[in-house]
Amino acid sequence: MTRDGTVRTRFAPSPTGYLHIGGARTALFSWLHARHTGGKFILRVEDTDAQRSTEESSLQILKAMEWLGLDWDEGPIFQSQRLDIYRSHIQKLLDEGKAYWCECTPDELEAKRKIALEKGEKPKYDLTCRNKGLGPGPGRVVRIALPASGFTSFDDMIKGRITVDNAELDDFILLRSDGMPTYNLVVVIDDALMNITHVIRGDDHVNNTPRQVLLYQAFGFDLPSFAHVPMILGADKTRLSKRHGATSVTAYKDMGYLPEALVNYLVRLSWSHGDQEIFSRQELIELFDIHDVGRSAAVFNPEKLLWLNHHYIKTGDPDRIAGLLPEFLQAKGYPVPEPSYLARVVTDVRERTKTLEEMVEFGDFYFIDRKPPEDLCEKFFTPEIRDAFRMLVERLENTDFSRKEALEEAVQSLLNETGLKFKVLAQPMRVALTGKTVSPGIFEVLATLGRDRAIPRLKRALSYMEKKT
Q: CB neighbours (10 Å) of residue 436?
A: 15
What confidence score (pLDDT) does residue 94 get? Answer: 98
pLDDT at residue number 215? 98
List the one residue out of 50, 15, 46 whose CA is nearest residue 178. Answer: 50
- What pLDDT, on a 0 to 100 scale, did the predictor assign at position 393? 96
pLDDT per position as a tens digit, 174-188: 999 999 999 999 999
Closest CA to 285 of 28, 39, 36: 36
- Contact 220/323 with Cβ under 8 angstroms? no
Residues of the chain below pLDDT 70: 1-3, 469
The pLDDT value recorded for residue 1 is: 53
Quote the distance between the C-alpha of residue 233 and its chain's center.
Answer: 15
Rounded distance between C-alpha atoms, residue 234 and residue 356, angstroms: 25
- How does pLDDT run across 49-105, given as a tens digit for each residue? 878 888 999 999 999 999 999 999 999 999 999 999 999 999 999 999 999 999 999
Closest alpha carbon to 363 in 305, 454, 448, 254: 448
CA distances from 383 to 40, 258, 380, 439, 461 (A): 72, 46, 9, 24, 11
β-strand pairing of 160-165 with 173-175? unpaired
Instruction: Return d(Cα 153, Cα 139) in angstroms, integer.
Output: 34
Specify whether the CB–CB gap between 100 and 143 falls below 8 A: yes
**Catalytic option among 114, 132, 242, 468:** 242
Is 112 annotated in the active site? no
Q: In whole angstroms, give the CA distance from residue 60 to residue 225.
A: 29
